[in-house]
Chain A
Amino acid sequence: MIQYCRALFRNLRHRQALNEELDEELSAYVESVVKDKVCRGISPEEAIREARLEIGGLEQVKQGVRDARKGAFVEGLMQDLRYALRTLAGSFGFSSIIVLTLALGIGANSAIFTLFNGVLLKPLPYPDSTRLVMLWETLVRNGALDGVAPANYYDWHRETHSFEKMAAIDPYPDFILTGSGSAQRLAGAAVSQEFFSLLGVHMALGRDFLPEEDKPGSRQAVILSYSTWMRLFGGRTDVVGQSIRLNDASYSIVGVLPRNFYLVSKAADYQSRNRIDIWTPLALPSPPAAWQRGTHPLCVFARLKPGISLQQAQADLNVVAGNLQLLYPNDDKDRGIAATPLESHVVEGIRVALFTLLAAVVMVLLLACANIANLMLTRGAARQKEIAVRIALGAGRMRIARQLLTESLVLSLVGGSLGFAILLVSVPALVRHLPADVPRAADVSIDWRVVLFTSLLSILTGILFGLVPLYQARRVSANDSLKQGGGAVAADHSRVQNSLTVAQLAIAVILLAGAGLMTKSLWRLTEVSPGFRTDHILTARLSLPPQYANGFVFGTGKHPRISQFEDELLQRMRAVPGVQSAAFASYLPMSGVDNSWAFYIAGRAPNPPGVFDVTHYRPVSAGYFETMGIPVLRGRTFSESDTDGSPLEVVINETMARTWWGSQTPVGQHIRFGDQHWRTVIGVVGDVHHDSLADTPEPDMYVPYGQVPNVEARPVIVVRTAIEPDSVVSALRSAVSDVDPNVPIDQIESMKQLVYGSESESRFRTAFVLTFAFLALFVASIGLYGVMSYSVTQRTREFGIRIAIGATRGAVLRAVLARAAKFVCIGVCVGVAGALVLTRLIASLLFGVRPVDISIFVSVPVLLIAIAFIASYFPAKRASSVNPMDALRYE
């Protein structure tokens, strides 16, 4: 072994000296052979000739010795590497185009894979997360998922047998923190006692809730999220046991959650709130009150018992649902129960978008590979002579293959490393620009999966395009190549090359078509009138402390303290210079919050049981329509005098009017919701896009703040300004703290920002696909350029002869362009056909554009043809300027 290592070391270290020794030894050998022969009386010339024949090629002997040496493989590898680097550095332009193409391809792929990995592939950040499910009430009528009534949760918990644990979360309660500086709103969640242990979370500090703390009227305990702990207490470890004032009551801190804990959720489940600051026990009475079967605020999590499948659990739930339907026909008559795996529930909405991105980026990589294979082919043809010479000098075919593969691998590894650098730079940027409602954004990071993916991708692409020149070298015969100058093989591989070019152009067309459709749909969205004015409006959310609702009785709308606060604030704001008007609303368009009520129309036959007329519920103050610029179509809207004392009134939108009154006028009709009081429809206003510009307007019912049936403790103030909305922010803050310093104000945004934010996901996606499409166009045109240049070089002699015998230069130019046109035409046709099939798959992502959009399907080919023309014009120009004399001397 030591002997072996020493030999290996010596061979590698003193390779040069060893080679010289070998040379000398061999020449001495040759001399001896010759001398022998001369001694036997052969003439010296004849002796030398015979000796050569006998020995059979000194180079082959040397190669034999080199191969016999220890470390021949390592040495060969290093030689290959050195040779590869020298060759690649020799053709720097060629190498850099390949490395760049690869870097972009691999970088973009890995970036999207990082996103994909974070959102779809990584397991949820809870132990044994595949056993976690969410339980929902379902409407038997249409299968829609709904929140869970506390009383139903109570029964599920007791009567099912498939779950190790079941816990509920009420994600709505807000808390106002006072006692340290200015009042602030904390996003809260109330959870049942087993919630954290179900998810497998251990507190970073302190302890979990105790069973006795999860009972009504018990000591008030809270658990802080890590970020809240850092923000409010600077990470002090003595917070456990301290008390804080929330909603004017004293709570005792029992624990702090670990830094990496977050509640994996879909934004829609929790009204756009992915962050929860503070946790309290749900404290459900046992058994719950009867009315707690008619309200559905809870989300329920459960952990399947080991060995129990989702189907078994669902069967168990179906039995329980059947029992509840019989026991509580009033509330549960048409309700079922559904279990959905937590993992798939969370990413449900984003799947299509992510797969679109992935498909686009994989196409870019394929295109990059095709392009590189093409360039390699081009160069391979030029290198056939070199390869033939090496074979003639005694290189084995395996050796040549290894050499070519080494070159490709060097290129792909350099490209891959550069791609990884692009990835490192782009992932933080990517995460920053992720739309707010992408679930699991916190999980998007570069981990071992991504590193493995990038490395494998580099090596695979290296092998993939390394195979092409190998295929070519396979049939190189030393004789033919040296004799014919490589012309014979060229014809054979040009077919591969041509189809690669056509494929590239087709992929570019598909991507451009997809990107075009998405861009057009985004553009359509910006053209949609939201139904209100978006400019010069400032919005902010206020959180009213719970004591504002003291003395409030459900349904009567008597809450003088809230009215007083709101009136006072509006008066102050209207007096601020630059402010034109101000108003309140509870559910502002594009803010992600919503509410609905069932309602009844006076004088109409009641609906069959289980069928409800439902409309969105929008409490607003007087002046809201003017401030928002929502047009009044019929009748009038609210005035300052619409209070709890005056007749009850509502305003409805156009869609609601059309849906239930058709062509008749609803003004003067009476409707009822929530309580027994009839309310008069006094006006009809224009439709408003509430969730996003892409949705269709739904029925809306506006109710004056003074007459709402329950407390609206989180009013949003809307201020219309004559100046930049941002310039009245400080005036708004001081006005609020003047009226009541205990009212927190947050989410201060202009209406423009809100609208812009509501489209962020589609803008993000479009920007990406568009980038990829242009990348593809760029790469494809390089490919076309490469192929055309190569064919012009190959045919230099032909062009020379043509020109020599009288072809005009214009004719040569046209001939080359015609050849390019053939590729482009086939490529465009294939691409358009592919796009017609593939764009159907993204129909759900499009708005206001059909998957087959004439303008896109015309303009994309035109764009491609124009770019292709430029890419092939230069080689054509070169062909037409061939000097006949040079061309004939060529080779």
Chain B
Amino acid sequence: MPSSQTDLLQGTLDLLILKSVALEELHGMGISRRIMQITNGTFEVKAGSLFPALYRMEEAGWLTSFWGEAETNRRAKFYRLTKTGKKQLQTESDRWERISLAMASALRATREAS
């Protein structure tokens, strides 16, 4: 797999996680549900990608975690955005917007416009 594609996918996942945690503090399952919800079911994040990403982002200092009580009445690990995380979300969102605008205009291009 070419690495550019991996980066893009990883960037996407990170952005989605940051975004969902920015709205409220969530545990793993919650994040997964939230992503599904905010992308209208387009992205379904499996545990195999979710948890490594959470740990990586926590180590990068974007997220912190704490133990709280889940709806199943048992301990679950919740994630919260840090200051760095907020900044990261901002830059990532800007970047993503630029890319998606560029992509959109590129795809709309017609023979007359060129």
Contacts and interface: CB of A to CB of B under 8 A. Distances in A.
Interface stretch (B16-24, B48-56, B91-99, B100-108): B48-56
Contact of A28 (B33, B53, B55, B74): B74
A208 B59 CA distance: 71
Interface in B53-90: 53, 55-56, 59-61, 70-72, 74-77
Interface string A1-36: 001100100010000000001101110110111011
B48 A60 contact: yes
B72 A31 contact: yes
A56 B77 contact: no
A32 B70 contact: yes
Nearest to A68: B52
Nearest to A69: B55
Interface in A17-75: 21-22, 24-26, 28-29, 31-33, 35-36, 54-57, 60-61, 64-65, 67-70
B38 interface: no
Nearest to A70: B59
Nearest to B28: A29
A69 B59 contact: yes
Contacts of B49: 64
A26 B70 contact: no
Nearest to B33: A36
B47 interface: yes
B47 A26 contact: yes
A36 B34 CA distance: 13
B53 to A, nearest CB: 7
**Band of interface residues on A:** 20 to 34
A25 B75 CA distance: 8
A621 to B, nearest CB: 95
Nearest to A7: B59
Contacts of A33: 29
Given A28-B75, A29-B47, A67 B52 contact: yes
B8 to A, nearest CB: 18
Given A28-B74, A29-B28, A35-B72, A3 B61 contact: yes
Contacts of A32: 27-30, 70-72, 76
Contacts of B33: 36
A32 B72 CA distance: 7
A55 B59 contact: no
Given A3-B61, A21-B77, A33-B29, A28 B70 contact: yes
A56 B47 CA distance: 8
Contacts of A60: 48
Given A3-B61, A54-B46, A56-B47, A25 B53 contact: no
A25 B77 contact: yes
Contacts of B48: 55-57, 60-61, 64
Greatest chain B CB density within 10 A among A3, A32, A55, A57 is at: A32
B76 A28 contact: yes
Contacts of B53: 68
A565 to B, nearest CB: 95
Contacts of B60: 3
Contacts of A55: 46-48
Contact of B76 (A4, A7, A25): A25
Contacts of B27: 25, 28-29, 32
Greatest chain B CB density within 10 A among A4, A7, A56 is at: A7
Contacts of B28: 25-26, 28-29, 32
A743 B58 CA distance: 92
Contact of B72 (A28, A61, A69): A28
Interface string A415-450: 000000000000000000000000000000000000
Nearest to B53: A68
A3 B59 CA distance: 8
A760 to B, nearest CB: 67
Contacts of B47: 26, 29, 54-56, 61
Greatest chain B CB density within 10 A among A33, A56, A60, A68 is at: A68
Nearest to B51: A65
A68 B33 CA distance: 22
A64 B48 CA distance: 7
Contacts of A64: 48-49, 51-52
A804 to B, nearest CB: 50
Greatest chain A CB density within 10 A among B29, B47, B55 is at: B47
A26 B51 contact: yes
A22 B47 CA distance: 12
B30 to A, nearest CB: 8
Contact of B74 (A7, A31, A70): A31
Contacts of A57: 48
Contacts of B76: 25, 28-29, 32
Contacts of A67: 52
A412 B55 CA distance: 37
Interface in A570-625: none
Contacts of A70: 59
Given A3-B61, A28-B27, A61 B75 contact: no
A102 B105 CA distance: 68
A863 B28 CA distance: 72
B17 to A, nearest CB: 13
Nearest to B84: A3
Greatest chain B CB density within 10 A among A11, A28, A54 is at: A28
A56 B59 CA distance: 25
B29 A24 contact: no
B6 to A, nearest CB: 14
Contacts of B71: 32, 35
Nearest to B60: A3
Contacts of A26: 28, 47, 51
A327 to B, nearest CB: 82
Contacts of B77: 21, 24-25, 28
A24 B56 CA distance: 18
Contacts of A4: 59
A61 B48 CA distance: 5
A57 B47 CA distance: 9
Nearest to A4: B59
Contacts of B51: 22, 25-26, 29, 61, 64-65
A76 to B, nearest CB: 15
A26 B51 CA distance: 9
A57 B71 CA distance: 24
A7 B60 CA distance: 9
Contacts of A65: 51-52, 55
Given A29-B29, A56-B48, A67-B52, A24 B75 contact: yes
Nearest to A8: B59
Greatest chain B CB density within 10 A among A21, A22, A25, A61 is at: A25
Interface of B: 27-30, 33, 46-49, 51-53, 55-56, 59-61, 70-72, 74-77
Given A25-B28, A54-B46, A65-B55, 9 more contacts: A3-B59, A4-B59, A21-B77, A26-B47, A26-B51, A36-B29, A56-B46, A61-B51, A68-B53
Top 4 A-B residue pairs of the complex, sorted by shortest distance between their CB atoms: A32-B29, A68-B52, A28-B76, A64-B52
12 contacts: A3-B60, A25-B77, A28-B76, A29-B27, A35-B72, A54-B47, A55-B46, A56-B48, A60-B48, A61-B47, A61-B51, A69-B59
